[in-house]
Amino acid sequence: MTESPTHTDESTTDVPGIGDMFPALTVETSMGKRSLPDDYEGQWLVLFSHPGDFTPVCTSEFVAFEQRREEFEDLNAELLGLSVDRVHSHIKWTEWIAENLDVDIQFPIIADDQGTVAQQLGMLHPGAGTATVRTVFVIDPEGTVRLRLTYPMEIGRNIDEVLRSLRALQKSDDDGVAAPADWPNNEKFDDQVLLSPPGTEADATARKAEAADDDDLNYYDWWFVTRDQ
């Protein structure tokens, strides 16, 4: 007899995963009420949680996100923060950042003081108390979750990686290709992209002939073909 797997509290909340539609939520933010994901329809949304306001690592992250905000906007992406703090805490914190670090945070922060949003999104982990761990959701213009990253509380996020992932997802959507490791700065393949493997023997045979006639294709085997940008 096979035993049923043991689930943690996080897994019982239907946490959205990659490929799932982001759940419809109405949230209070430091810049007013937002309806997710509807208010961001037609745009990419980068939603990220932090353990708490007035903490050193979180402060460094918010400064880093704001300093790169225009790069996200150039990719048709909006930033949205979240923690289990009240609106007035978010406001005082962003005022502190402006006064002491000379950075004006211009994206909203969800006030989830009851922890209901964080719980629904799996941002509260066992052992972390009521603090939200460093989770990133990348949601596409149709409201589908395309990426989820989770960092431990003591390590700040790499904003370059969030931007790289967003660019790679958009490249994949636009051109029907995949991005290799470290794209677009792969040590072996530079900024080349990967073609999807053929699905049939006939397609595999045709792929080799196609590569022979196309200088932009680099044929290693029928299942491993890169393409120059």
> Would 148 be classed as within a structural domain?
yes
- More confident: 151 or 76: 76
**Residue 82 carries which DSSP code?**
E
Whether residues 143 and 192 fall in one domain? no
pLDDT of residue 9: 41
Q: Tell me whether the omega of the peptide bond preceding residue 37 falls within 30 degrees of 0, making it cis.
A: yes
> Out of 47, 58, 111, 124, which one is annotated catalytic?
58
Strands (E), 125-212: 134-139, 145-151, 193-194
The reported pTM is: 0.89
pLDDT tens profile 46-72: 999 998 899 999 999 999 999 999 999
**Terminal CA-CA length for the chain:** 53
Last residue of a domain, one of 98, 128, 158: 158
pLDDT of residue 130: 62
Is 114 a residue whose pLDDT tops 90?
no
> Would 1 be classed as within a structural domain?
no
Whether residues 137 and 180 fall in one domain? no
Please confirm, yes or no, whether 13 is among the known catalytic residues: no
Is 2 a residue whose pLDDT tops 60?
no
> Would 133 be classed as within a structural domain?
yes
**Which class for 49: exposed (0-12), middle (13-18), buried (19 or more C-beta within 10 A)?**
buried
pLDDT tens profile 181-200: 999 999 999 999 999 999 99
Please state the rounded mean pLDDT for residues 120-144. 83
Q: Count up the domains in the chain and report the number.
A: 2
129 pLDDT tier (thresholds 50, 70, 90): low
